Amino acid sequence: DSVLVHAPATLSNLGCGFDVFGLALAAPYDTIRLRRTGAPGVRIRHLDAYNLPTDPARNVAGVALLALLAAVPEAVGFEMEITKGIKPGSGVGSSAASAAGAVVAANALLGNRFSQLELVEFAMAGEALASGARHADNVAPAIFGGFTVVRALEPATDIVALPAPTLWVAVVHPQIEIKTKDARQVLPAAVPLGLAVRQWANVAGLVAGFLTADYGLISRSLDDYIVEPARAPLIPGLAEARRRALAAGALGGGISGSGPSIFMLNRDEPTAHAVAAALGSVFAELGIEFNLYVGTV
């Protein structure tokens, strides 16, 4: 008796909403097959070529499952097969997808005894292993779907799930390595009030834009004045990529999560393809290998 789950890639931060906003994509996704076993603990098999650790204590999906098991000791054990459809380290929530998929599958096998919020808590244990910080802005959209706002993490997680209007996403993943841990170390410890005001004005504008499907408002509200300027030096070509994407018709975008991927939101599929080509052209000129992705939310 096993359960098969598709766990989607996600865009976290989504411009101005550092550690708060997340958006689930239709694809790519990780595939997780899970079955209960009489052997205590978690056994992991990877059916992909990424050589991720199979020791559950060192695997994000393993850590998430172990956190869930600690809350249901009578469940005894799980056997998990993971097929990564999302490239690790690409900045579209690869680790979060595996952690989220594992606990969603376990919940289905256990009669759905946990709420989605509780599943986010378990998945975050896995995510903390990957990034060195507890953040839910990738696991929340992976579990709830759509557009999510992580209003609070401590003491109690508070997540608002909102519908997203029709949007096409273009993502470029340049082959540069950026560890989330490192990308969090470059962030400013304090923010001038004027910048903070501009930022939370955008945060409010983006939420309103999503709720009313006001594409002009979405376009004007995406920019991040606080986190992206600090991280920009980690991604060569970022400014030029944005310039060309906007010229090709993108609504706006920025660094996906902590990078290195760059995302752009678009109104329709043809624009998203033109924007993806524009993003790719920058990295082709820089001689940096890249992958492109175009899809819906």
Q: Which sequence positions are flagged as catalytic? A: 127, 180
Pairing of strands 41-46, 158-162: unpaired
By CB under 6 A, tell whether 12 contacts ligand HSE. yes
Q: Which is nearer to ligand HSE, 13 or 221 (CB)?
A: 13
On whether the CB atoms of residues 21 and 136 are closer than 8 A, the answer is: no
Cα distance between residue 61 and residue 65, in whole Å? 6
By CB under 6 A, tell whether 184 contacts ligand HSE. yes
Q: What is the CA radius of gyration of the chain?
A: 19
**3-state SS assignment for residue 275:** helix
Give residue number: closest CB to ligand HSE: 257
Q: Which is nearer to ligand HSE, 114 or 147 (CB)?
A: 147
Minimum distance, C-beta of residue 185 to ligand HSE, in the bound complex (Å)? 10
Q: How many CA atoms lie within 13 A of 146 on its CB side?
A: 15
Who's near 294: CB < 8 A, 6+ residues apart?
168, 169, 170, 171, 269, 272, 273, 276
By CB under 6 A, tell whether 225 contacts ligand HSE. no
Q: Which of 202, 258, 266, 271 binds ligand HSE (CB under 6 A)?
A: 258
Cα distance between residue 52 and residue 205, in whole Å? 39
Q: Which of 5, 14, 18, 61 binds ligand HSE (CB under 6 A)?
A: 18
- Which conformational region is residue 247 in: left (phi greater than 0), alpha (psi within -120 to 50 degrees), or beta? alpha
Q: Which of 137, 205, 206, 297 binds ligand HSE (CB under 6 A)?
A: 137
Stretch that binds ligand HSE, among 28-36, 39-47, 57-65, 180-188 (CB under 6 A): 180-188
Q: Which is nearer to ligand HSE, 28 or 257 (CB)?
A: 257
Q: Which is nearer to ligand HSE, 135 or 242 (CB)?
A: 135
By CB under 6 A, tell whether 121 contacts ligand HSE. no
By CB under 6 A, tell whether 46 contacts ligand HSE. no
On whether the CB atoms of residues 138 and 29 are closer than 8 A, the answer is: no
- Residue ranges in contact with ligand HSE by CB under 6 A: 12-13, 18-19, 131, 135, 137-138, 180, 183-184, 257-258
